[in-house]
Amino acid sequence: MKTVLVLGANGGAGGAAAQAFGAHGWRVIGLVRPGRAAGAGVSPVTADLFDAAAVAAACGPVDVVFNGLNAPYPVWSDRLLPMLTAAADIAEALGARHIYPGSVYTFGASMPPRLTPDTPFAPTTLKGRLRAQAEAMFRARAEAGRLRTLVVRAGDFFGGAAVNNWMNALVAKDLRKGRLASPGGYDTVHAWAFLPDLAEAIVRLAEVEGELGAYEVFHFENWNVTMRDLRAAAEQALGRRVRLSRFPRLLFHAAAAFDPFMKATLEMLYLWDVPHGLYDERLTRIVGDTPRTPLDRALRGLT
């Protein structure tokens, strides 16, 4: 039985990964704070995230480290890179494969509509630059023979236990009432990732990771859709008409004056103005048909 250490097991991505690994017969352990549980089917391990040697000693042999760590938007500048560095240190100390779910932030506001693993970085925001720095660090360690990393970039997360995301916080917040809110135009293609699908693809990669290089990048092609497409799927899910409306940008700016989260969100609004989708034929060749829950069924879980 192989073992995976999930960092961020109580988060959206980490929780989905823990469930998927467990369903495939892996032993799942999760690093948690003292007194915290780690979710169903996850064995808790208590140690200081920033003490890699202590984490390694507490875990024992581990095959894969899933890096589901994240920080609230307002504190990314202070916390994100230290956390991601700590995850790399832990995987390095364990001699385990490190798997990191990346994002489209690295491509910036001038990104092309088709994003492949070879698309060059051009970050235009602080969050994009931090993500790019993290991936550069992972790559440098791989080239130095210190760390083996798989980066799996995905669109905006939704589904599973994830709650702090665009879908839950704004777009589908009132889906039960038959309403969707768009932060941008109705015809702009936007990349989404249904977390159970992403987690399944990651487990399939983990099961063949020994056949892959020290540093590999994949793009998870799940749902590249417009808001009109999303509304059509929502209407299928609910079995009735769904109203689609534009969320006024002025409200974002007004809320930002009082809400640190909204202020940190402003620089990411371009994601709703610039069409983009993730594409990767190689991922399909390696893991088989990319997991893709029908969009109406995925949205039904939000109601």
| pLDDT exceeds cutoff 90 at 48 | yes
Task: Provide the edge-to-edge strand list for the sheet that holds 190-194.
Answer: 156-158, 190-194, 223-225
Look at phi and psi of residue 8 and say left if phi exceeds 0, alpha if psi is from -120 to 50, else beta. left
The two three-digit tokens of residue 243, written as one number: 């109203």
Model confidence band, residue 132 (pLDDT cutoffs 50, 70, 90): very high
Q: Rounded to an integer, what distance in angstroms lies between the CA atom of residue 108 and that of residue 298?
A: 28
Domain edges within the chain:
3-157+195-222+276-292
Does the domain at 3-157+195-222+276-292 match CATH 3.40.50.720? Answer given as yes
Using a pLDDT cut of 70, give the percent of the chain over it: 100
If you average pLDDT over residues 208-218, what whole number do you get?
98
To the nearest 10 degrees (0 to 180), the angle between helices 76-94 and 52-59 is 50
The two three-digit tokens of residue 46, written as one number: 């208590």
**Which pLDDT score is estimated for 33?**
81
H/E stretch holding 225 reads strand 223-225
**Comparing 63-72, 135-144, 164-173, 223-232, which segment has the lowest mean pLDDT?**
164-173
**Which pLDDT score is estimated for 38?**
76
Q: Rounded to an integer, what distance in angstroms lies between the CA atom of residue 5 and that of residue 155?
A: 24
**Which pLDDT score is estimated for 73?**
85
**Which pLDDT score is estimated for 109?**
97
Distance of CA 274 to the CA centre of its chain: 20
Q: Which residues pair with 225 in a beta bridge?
A: 190
Q: Rounded to an integer, what distance in angstroms lies between the CA atom of residue 133 and that of residue 128?
A: 9
Using a pLDDT cut of 90, give the percent of the chain over it: 84
- For residue range 73-108, list pLDDT tens digits in order: 889 999 999 999 999 999 999 999 999 999 999 999
Model confidence band, residue 24 (pLDDT cutoffs 50, 70, 90): very high
- For residue range 161-174, list pLDDT tens digits in order: 767 788 988 899 99
To the nearest 10 degrees (0 to 180), the angle between helices 195-206 and 12-23 is 50
**Which pLDDT score is estimated for 267?**
92
Residue located via tokens 């602080």: 126
If you average pLDDT over residues 9-21, what whole number do you get?
94
Q: Is the distance from CB of 225 to CB of 190 less than 8 angstroms?
A: yes
Query: What pTM was estimated for this model as a whole?
Result: 0.96
**Which pLDDT score is estimated for 138?**
98
Q: Rounded to an integer, what distance in angstroms lies between the CA atom of residue 160 and that of residue 206?
A: 20
H/E stretch holding 200 reads helix 195-206
Query: In 55-200, which ranges are E strands?
Result: 64-67, 97-102, 114-115, 148-153, 156-158, 179-182, 190-194
Which residues touch 291 (CB under 8 Å, ≥6 apart)?
196, 197, 198, 200, 201, 222
> What DSSP state is assigned to residue 107?
G
**Which pLDDT score is estimated for 279?**
97
To the nearest 10 degrees (0 to 180), the angle between helices 126-143 and 76-94 is 20
Q: Rounded to an integer, what distance in angstroms lies between the CA atom of residue 139 and that of residue 133?
A: 10
Q: Rounded to an integer, what distance in angstroms lies between the CA atom of residue 27 and that of residue 19?
A: 11
Q: Rounded to an integer, what distance in angstroms lies between the CA atom of residue 216 and that of residue 237?
A: 36
Residue 65: which of 45, 37, 94, 40 has the closest Cα? 94
